[in-house]
Amino acid sequence: MCAAQALSFRLPDFLRTAAFRSALVGAACFVAATLLLFALIGWQAGQSLMQRRDSLLEQEAAAIAREPASGVGADIARRYARDLHRITFAALFTRDGRLEAGDMVAPPVLAADGMAHHTTVQRLLEGGETAKIDVRAASLRLRDGRLVVVARGTAELDELHQVISQALQIGLIPGILLALVAGTVASLRAMARVAAINRSIARIMQGDFSGRLPSSGTSDTLDQLAASVNRMLGEIERLMAEVKGVGDNIAHDLRTPLSRLRSRLEGARLRAREPPEFRAVIDRSIEDLDQTLGVITALLRIGELESGRRRAGFGSVSLDALLREAADLYAPLAEERGITMHVSPGPPQDVQADRDLLFEAVVNLLDNAVKFAPAGGWVRLSAEPGPAIRVADSGPGIAANEREAVLKRFYRADPSRHIEGSGLGLSLVVAILRLHGFSLAMRNTDIGFAIDINCSAG
C-alpha cells in the first residue's frame, strides 16, 4: 500500500533530475535578486517623490501663511478650486479648531512647524460625505492663532509602487518561465544521455563486455565519468579474459591427472586380479590425486597472497643469512644432479620482508634453476646491489617472448613440459613479490639465464 502511495506522489522524472533542480535553484536566485532590485528602486523613487512633494507642501503652507490675515481663507479657496484632481487640499481652522475655509473636518494630529509629516485627515467630499485619507501634510499657525493645513494624499506614492510592482510582474514571470523551460530542456537532455548510458550498461550486463558507455564529445562532467567508467570496463574485460584463461588452464591441469586416474581405475577394474595389482593401481591413483590436490592448494595459497591479507609477518630479514640457508637447502639436490652450486651472500644487509615468504620465493626460483640447469652445469645464488637477489643458472632460460607468459598461472614453457610441477611456481613467486612491492626481472646472459628479485619496494 505504502509503495502504491509513494508512486502516486512521485514527480515526473524530468522534474527530479539534477539539471532541473539546479534550474529551479537558479530561478529562485533570479527571483530573489529581482525582488531586491525592484524593492530598492521602489523605495528610492518613493523617497525622491516624497521629498519633492514635501518641499512643495512646505512652500505652499508658507506662502499661504504670508497672505494678509483677512485673505487667507479666500486664498485657500482660490488656490484649490483650480485643482481638478483634488490631490492637494487645504484648510483653515480657527483658534478653537473650527473649520473656517477648505475641506477638512477637523485639524489633523500634526506639529504646526511648517514641515511635511505623515498623518490622516477626514476630508469633506461633495454631498457632505467624509473620507479618511492618508496624507503628507504641513501646518502653520498664523499670528492670530488660526491654523493653516496643506495636505496631499499619498495615493500618488501608492500608484508609483503599484506601477513598479506591475513592472516587476511583467519582468519576473517570463524570467521564471524561461528558467523553467531551460531547466526542463537541460533535464530532458541529461535524461536522454543517462538513458543512453543505461542502455549501454544493460547491454554490458547481458554479457557484451566489449560494450562501452557513449560520450557526447563535449568532455563535460558526464563524459569524464563515462570515460573513467570505460577505462574500468576495459580493465574488467581484460581481467575477465585472463580469469577465463586461468579457469580453462585450471580445468585442463586438473582434468589431465583426473582422466589418467579414471582410465587407470577402469583398467584395474577390468583386468586386475591379484591384490598386489590393485594395490599398485591404488598407489598410482593416490599420486594422481595428490597432484590434483597440490594444484588446488597452490591456487588457494596464491589467492591468499593476492588478497594481501598476510602482512603480519613483515620484519627485518637478513639477506645474507637467507641466501646461505636457501643454498644449504638445495646443495645436496644440486650435488645429486651433478650441478655445482655457488653462493655469494654478499655483506650482511637487511630487507623489510616476510622472511618465510621471501625464502619461499627464493627457494622456488632455486628449485627451477636446479631443475633446468643441465647436468654438469651450475647454479649461482647471489646478493646484488639494490639490494637484489639473483638466481642464475647455465640452463636455456626462458625465451624473451615467453617471459611475460611464464609469470601467468599455469603456463609452462613448452620445452619443459616433461618436468613435473603444477606450473604455479612462478605465479606464486610473483604473488609473493607483489605483496612485498618487490619486482622480478629476467634476462638471458652469455653464459645462461638470470632472474633478479629487486628488493627495493616501490
CB count in 10 Å sphere of residue 389: 27
Least distance in Å: CB of 215 to other proteins? 45
- Residues in Cβ contact with 429 at an 8 Å cutoff, skipping those fewer than 6 apart: 361, 364, 365, 440
Give whichever of 211 and 395 is closer to other proteins, judged by the CB atom. Answer: 395
- For 188-193, which contacts have Cβ atoms below 8 Å and span 24 or more sequence positions? 188/14, 189/19, 190/17, 190/18, 190/19, 190/222, 191/13, 191/14, 191/17, 193/222
Give whichever of 140 and 432 is closer to other proteins, judged by the CB atom. Answer: 432
Give whichever of 99 and 329 is closer to other proteins, judged by the CB atom. Answer: 329
Give whichever of 77 and 302 is closer to other proteins, judged by the CB atom. Answer: 302
Q: In the complex, which residues of this chain contact other proteins (CB under 8 A)?
A: 283, 286-287, 290, 293, 297, 300-301, 304, 309-310, 312-313, 328-330, 332-333, 335-336, 356, 359-360, 363-364, 367, 370-371, 420-422, 425
Give whichever of 64 and 363 is closer to other proteins, judged by the CB atom. Answer: 363
Q: Is the peptide bond before 387 cis (omega within 30 degrees of 0)?
A: yes
Q: Grid coordinates representing 173?
A: 514571470
Least distance in Å: CB of 404 to other proteins? 23
Residue ranges in 307-424 assigned as alpha helix (H): 319-336, 355-372, 403-406
Least distance in Å: CB of 370 to other proteins? 8
Report the candidate in 126, 148, 124 with the shortest Cα–Cα distance to residue 137.
Answer: 148
Adjacent-strand bridge partners of 317: 351
Least distance in Å: CB of 192 to other proteins? 51
Residue ranges in 206-274 assigned as alpha helix (H): 221-271
Planar angle of CA 17, 20, 24, nearest 5 degrees: 135
Least distance in Å: CB of 332 to other proteins? 4
Give whichever of 270 and 312 is closer to other proteins, judged by the CB atom. Answer: 312
Residue 129 gets the label, from left (phi > 0), alpha (psi -120 to 50) or beta, of beta
DSSP letters, 277-332, are HHHHHHHHHHHHHHHHHHHHHHHHHHHHHHTT---TTEEEEEHHHHHHHHHHHHHH
Residue 75 buriedness (CB in 10 A; 0-12 / 13-18 / 19+):
buried
Which H/E stretch holds residue 100? Answer: strand 99-102
Give whichever of 214 and 421 is closer to other proteins, judged by the CB atom. Answer: 421
Give whichever of 158 and 304 is closer to other proteins, judged by the CB atom. Answer: 304
CA distance 168 to 131: 31
Give whichever of 11 and 312 is closer to other proteins, judged by the CB atom. Answer: 312
Least distance in Å: CB of 359 to other proteins? 8
